[in-house]
Amino acid sequence: MKQKIIWGGRSLLIETGRFATQATGSVTVRYGDTIVLCTVVANRKAKADGDFFPLTVNYVEKAYAAGKIPGGFIKREGRPSEKETLVSRLIDRPLRPLFHEDFKNETQVICTVLSFDGENDADIISIIGASAALTLSGIPFLGPIAAARIGYEDGKFVLNPKIGYESNLDLVVAGSKDGILMVESGANELSETDMMAALRFGHETFQPVIDMIIKLAEKCANDPWDVPEPSAKLNEIKEVISKKFLDDIKKAYDGKCKHDRSESLQQIKDEIIGYFTEDIAESIVNEAFSSVCANFVRNKILSNGRRIDGRGTSDIRPISAEVSALPCVHGSAAFQRGETQAVVVVTLGTAQDEQLMDSLAGEYKERFMLHYNFPPFSVGEIGRLGSPGRREIGHGKLAWRAVSPVLPSREKFPYSIRVVSEVLSCNGSSSMATVCGSSLALMDAGVPLTNAVAGIAMGLIIEGDKYKILSDIMGEEDHLGDMDFKVAGTSGGITALQMDTKVPSISFEIIEEAMRQAKVGREHILKEMSKELKTPRAKLNENAPKMATIVIPKDKIREVIGSGGKVIRDIIDRTGTKIDIDDEGNVSVSAPDALSLEKALSIIQGIAVDPVSGAIYKGRVTKIMDFGAFINFYGPKEGLVHISEMSDKRVDKVTDMLSEGDAVDVKFLGYDNKGRAKLTMKFTT
């Protein structure tokens, strides 16, 4: 069965029953000539004593989809790339809230890119395909949903711009018929008004996609699965906890720090577990206890607007910032907001340090890298250290989007830039602390940012028609709330946006109100940050490498490099510098100090740029002959001062005037018929 529409000027086709017929649900989605196979498989039996929904989402890019053979020794796809990890998260986030709350069966969604046309990215149609596969599967999924990518240029929004499209906005929005479920966006300081208009445009434009999934489901959806009945025992335990232990729970939440609050709640939970008979599974007691705690916290916020730590809904926790926190690095900052603390470090490098990225669309280099680390001690836990997980990669990319728009161009600032955020303590939105710390650390390093950037995480508690929007949410408020809405930007506008929900959708009215409240919070944080450092430092940190870029004629590139790279290696060895030359004649030189930089530039210019006839240069005598002296006067260039050109008076012996190693001023007269430089000293006498 198939459904087809024209969407964004291209054909969108969803087909089922052709591939992967043993999966619980399966579709292929084709947009242009990009094709993704989306499958879902769920176990018929729920996980025993499961207190969470075991959902796994994987997005997989096959190299053959773009007519490529994988690189490396093994020559096959291996661990997920950064993009595959990010897109897996992108698919997961709008799907997860729509499964029935009592459905605890292990479920896996896999989206495999089978064909890639180089123009249409596979991420949006993977969300659409996963939604369609789930809707057809019969699994208790409250969809369908759809998604769209929105660009913005010259005051107009563009639906699903093709790869390579330059825009002031890169917005991915996913939602249902009723509202928004997920937002992921990078922007060039876009106003809140324009961002809201983009969200509305995206929601409106993907409605035909939802309609086509519904039409397909009406024709060939599987029979719906039985929805699990709520546990009667669970409700009984919740009632007992509410009657006998609610006062203790209230005291545990009474203005304590995270550590003390956790200890108090753990003691209460241990007491509750001991209260019930042994035939009741501990997982059910844990679930009931968590539910009672959540209801208490949520009702308290909705009834009087007071939060766990006593703040009002729009209050922001105390902020402190310190730049130059570490002595030997190129730039650093320690940023703390409440119990969340991040130390952020900047390292500057050359073009050789740029990250080579390999994707289906081809290889490219990335000069700005932002890496986020979340060690287990940051939340007082013991855990395994290893490769970054999905969360770390996702948070790092969000901060990358937030900071990228304010970085100087490569022409103005030829350095490659690596930022590393070490989260040392966490109780709410370490990704936004990373944004703030990154901005300060970059300015501390002397990177000429166009504006300082700050970020804030917003939350939501909603019950029916009643709701409260929370500024600067803590970890518990994120866990117990209904929305995680992160907004980063400058005083001029939004640079990054990320929203996830735990409810079937969020209305535009709530999003707009949250965005207004976030703007007030962002401006407050920027003001606090400016107390430590207002603008980028005028000079680069003394530990940073010195760098300069010059342009040489293309026909001189070979001379600078030399046969087999002999000349350029000699320059590097003699000066201790790093040198990069591209095909256009752009030469980047980096050095540990200004003297080495100047020396390397002088040598390169001496090879690539001819001296000016009639100009005076400082030189050094390299060799004495009977008929004159050879002078090194312009980079590696040498010329001859004939004995007759040493003085207006007669000179009997060259050694009467010069010795090897003498510094001397000479005038360049041009070249003889053999291409040798001619010099004179007569202008000095």
603 has a pLDDT exceeding 60: yes
Mean pLDDT of the region 448-457 = 97
More confidently predicted of 337 and 229: 337
In the chain, % of residues over pLDDT 70:
98
684 has a pLDDT exceeding 70: no
- Bridging pattern class, strands 25-31 and 616-625: unpaired
Q: Which long-range contacts (CB under 8 A, 24 or more apart) does 155-163 make?
A: 157/197, 157/198, 157/201, 159/7, 159/8, 159/9, 159/201, 159/202, 159/205, 160/7, 160/8, 160/10, 160/31, 160/120, 160/124, 162/119, 162/120, 163/118, 163/119, 163/120, 163/121, 163/361
285 has a pLDDT exceeding 90: no
Domain ranges in the chain are 2-220, 232-304, 319-530, 546-607, 616-684
The whole-number pLDDT of residue 466 equals: 93
Residue in the block written with tokens 């922001």:
316
State in Å, rounded, how far the first CA of the chain is from the last one.
Answer: 96
Mean pLDDT of the chain: 92
The whole-number pLDDT of residue 29 equals: 98
More confidently predicted of 480 and 24: 24
278 has a pLDDT exceeding 80: no
Please check whether residue 132 is in contact with residue 146, taking contact to mean a CB–CB distance below 8 angstroms. Answer: no
- The Cα–Cα gap between 121 and 9 comes to 15
Class of domain 232-304: mainly alpha
Q: What is the pLDDT of residues 503-550, one digit of tens each?
A: 998 999 999 999 999 999 999 999 999 999 999 999 998 889 888 888
154 has a pLDDT exceeding 90: no
Closest CA to 196 of 456, 444, 499: 499
Please check whether residue 681 is in contact with residue 641, taking contact to mean a CB–CB distance below 8 angstroms. Answer: yes
Q: What is the pLDDT of residues 468-497, one digit of tens each?
A: 999 999 988 998 899 999 999 999 999 999
Q: What is the pLDDT of residues 227-264, one digit of tens each?
A: 877 777 788 888 889 988 988 888 888 866 788 888 88
Q: Of 3.20.20.70, 3.20.20.140, 3.40.50.300, 3.30.1370.10, which CATH number belongs to 546-607?
A: 3.30.1370.10
Closest CA to 629 of 668, 637, 638: 638
More confidently predicted of 280 and 480: 480
Specify the length of the chain in residues. Answer: 685
Residue in the block written with tokens 């980063």:
488
- The Cα–Cα gap between 168 and 299 comes to 41
The whole-number pLDDT of residue 201 equals: 97
More confidently predicted of 257 and 638: 638
The whole-number pLDDT of residue 50 equals: 61
The whole-number pLDDT of residue 49 equals: 60
The whole-number pLDDT of residue 255 equals: 64
Please check whether residue 94 is in contact with residue 182, taking contact to mean a CB–CB distance below 8 angstroms. Answer: yes
The whole-number pLDDT of residue 672 equals: 84
Beta-carbon neighbour count of residue 640 at 10 Å? 18
CA atoms within 13 A on the CB side of 608: 24
The whole-number pLDDT of residue 497 equals: 97
Q: Is residue 424 helix, strand or coil? A: strand
Question: Considering only 66-75, 281-290, 429-438, which range has the smallest mean pLDDT?
Answer: 281-290
Distance of CA 577 to the CA centre of its chain: 30
Q: What is the CA radius of gyration of the chain?
A: 33
Report the 3 state secondary structure along 555-579. Answer: HHHHHHHCHHHHHHHHHHHHHCCEE
Which residue(s) pair with 322 in the sheet?
334
Most confident residue range from 208-212, 478-482, 544-548, 562-566: 208-212
Q: Is residue 208 helix, strand or coil? A: helix
Mean pLDDT of the region 84-101 = 96
- Bridging pattern class, strands 677-680 and 637-642: parallel
320: enclosing H helix or E strand:
strand 319-323
Residue in the block written with tokens 């680069």:
540
Closest CA to 580 of 304, 264, 275, 352: 352
- CB within 8 Å of 435: residues ≥ 6 apart: 398, 399, 402, 403, 453, 454, 455, 488, 496
Question: Considering only 209-218, 355-364, 459-468, 517-526, which range has the smallest mean pLDDT?
Answer: 355-364
- The Cα–Cα gap between 524 and 71 comes to 48
The whole-number pLDDT of residue 51 equals: 67
Q: Taking each helix axis from N to C terminus, what angle separates 192-205 and 207-220, rounded to the nearest 10 degrees?
A: 30
Q: Tell me the pLDDT band of 185, cut-offs 50, 70 and 90.
A: very high
Tell me the Ramachandran region of residue 205: left when phi exceeds 0, alpha when psi lies from -120 to 50, beta otherwise.
alpha
- The Cα–Cα gap between 529 and 547 comes to 29
Beta-carbon neighbour count of residue 3 at 10 Å? 20
- The Cα–Cα gap between 139 and 53 comes to 13
Helical segments of 245-281, H only: 246-252, 258-275
- The Cα–Cα gap between 624 and 651 comes to 14
Domains 2-220 and 232-304 share a fold: no
Q: Span 616-684: which CATH code?
A: 2.40.50.140
Q: Tell me the pLDDT band of 272, cut-offs 50, 70 and 90.
A: confident
Closest CA to 194 of 419, 416, 493: 493
Give the Cα-Cα-Cα angle 483, 486, 488 (nearest 5 degrees). Answer: 165
- The Cα–Cα gap between 4 and 6 comes to 7
The whole-number pLDDT of residue 607 equals: 86
Hey, what amino acid is at 628? G
Helix and strand counts by DSSP (H, E) for the chain: 15, 29
Residue in the block written with tokens 């705690």:
293
Q: Of 3.30.230.70, 3.40.50.1980, 3.40.1280.10, 1.10.10.10, which CATH number belongs to 2-220?
A: 3.30.230.70
State the fold for domain 319-530: Ribosomal Protein S5; domain 2 (3.30.230)
